[in-house]
Amino acid sequence: MKKGVVVIGGGPAGMVSALTAHRYYPEKDITLIKNVEKGVIPCGIPYMVSSMGNPEENGLSMLPLEKAGIEIIMDEVKKINRKEKSVSTEEGNDFPYEKLVLALGSKPFIPPILGVEKEGIYQIEKEMGYLKKMVATIRKSRNVLVVGGGFIGVEFADEISKIKGTTVYLVEMFPRLLLNSFDLEFGSLVEEKLESEGVKVLTNKRVIEFVGDKRVEKAKFEDGETVDVDCVILGIGSIPNSDLAVESGLDMTKKSGIWVDEYMRTNDPDIFAVGDCALKRDFFTRREVLVMLASTATSEARVAGASLYNLRVVRENKGALGIYSTYVDGLALGSAGLTEGNARKEGFEITIGNFEGIDKHPAALPNANKIKIKLIFSSYSGIIMGGQVAGGESCGELINAIGIAIQKRVSFSELETLQIATHPRLTSAPTKYPIVLAANDAASKMLVKQ
């Protein structure tokens, strides 16, 4: 049998690993083995409920791989034979490899709630057939309960609220939504928005039991309250899918999956791991963190794919930044790097820059939105460590501009005199550009301190 690169996993991390390997090592045979017949675009899952008329629109296309001549095998890998350098599958086949990439992904965390196994209760599985059933159930339900106020839960609640006649409850055990990625003043914007859509946001609340015969009929909370439900969505998070790696004796980390170095190499020099199943180090502290985002996973896949046979290009995984955006009924939010809360918890001495403005200029132009920004700087070095934005759709790319600034460790004084493109229909005014004005605000505070 031919040898070359074998990739296990058909999600974004696996796909991009295979495509990058093909680009850097076109002379090698590349095989991708996946165990899900019809995959989906992970971040598109909530939008299968309403925004997409037909959930099938969220299918993950394998076409780019086919075009590149990458062999796609539908099978489940059961064993990695590290000595022989091959993998064995459920269907009894052996695939030898020179280099192996593990893109095993993650699996939904199922909370130990009484009755969690009842019918009508769904977790976020990345498989089309399962999700189509879930969407069909949601669309015909009268009362849907979403468990978990992270971005998956928030996006599901927003989408379900658009179905006429359906009541949606969003339950979060902490005092506010999006706690991990946003400070209070941003999280509360989301809460207000969801409530204005009719979502019943229940914070500081914990489900302790799902009641019903075979099917879920009620959810019972710790405080004794109950609500009637026909359908429950569990959006509480995921855990690395790393059993295969454990069994093959690769070094593991405590909670974030397979140990990898800066080039995504495991302790076996011929095996790489990327995405949700691989160790993430925090961008600032280098400590182990749980970050499960397709954008982080694909970035790692590009590092791995390029580094398989030799480190041709000096590059590195700088650590996971935690950069993402979300959208609730016209309100877009983005977060990159450390929040104020997380920075203080870590012990960083920080200075905050805030600004509120309008995302067009003059404000009288059509579709102008309020825009709100917060930047977090290291007080001592002046370097930007984090940013949060909320406003119209332009926030989707604005957070990426901030993300580049963080990744390049830009200082507040550089941001104050940043050269930017502004346009009446597209951005804030040059005199009131959010990143610049927030850096100004932080600078004023630093001047006072000196």
Q: Which of the residues 402 through 441 are near a copy of itself (CB under 8 A)? A: 403-405, 407-408, 410, 413-414, 416-427, 429-431, 433, 435-436, 440
- Among 324, 348, 355, 377, interactor with a copy of itself by CB under 8 A: 324
Residue 19: burial class (beta carbons within 10 Å; 0-12, 13-18, 19+): buried
- Among 8, 102, 321, 390, interactor with a copy of itself by CB under 8 A: 321
Stretch that binds a copy of itself, among 128-136, 229-237, 331-339, 345-353 (CB under 8 A): 331-339
Q: According to CB under 8 A, which residues from 360 to 379 bind a copy of itself?
A: 361-362, 364-366
Q: Which is nearer to a copy of itself, 23 or 215 (CB)?
A: 23
Q: Is residue 18 part of the contact set for a copy of itself (CB under 8 A)?
A: no
Minimum CB separation of residue 118 from a copy of itself in Å reads 30
Minimum CB separation of residue 394 from a copy of itself in Å reads 5
Q: Which is nearer to a copy of itself, 54 or 165 (CB)?
A: 54
Stretch that binds a copy of itself, among 54-62, 106-114, 215-223, 238-246 (CB under 8 A): 54-62
Q: Is residue 161 part of the contact set for a copy of itself (CB under 8 A)?
A: no
Minimum CB separation of residue 371 from a copy of itself in Å reads 11
Minimum CB separation of residue 392 from a copy of itself in Å reads 9
- How many chain residues are in contact with a copy of itself, going by CB under 8 A? 86
Minimum CB separation of residue 257 from a copy of itself in Å reads 18
Stretch that binds a copy of itself, among 105-113, 194-202, 219-227, 310-318 (CB under 8 A): 310-318
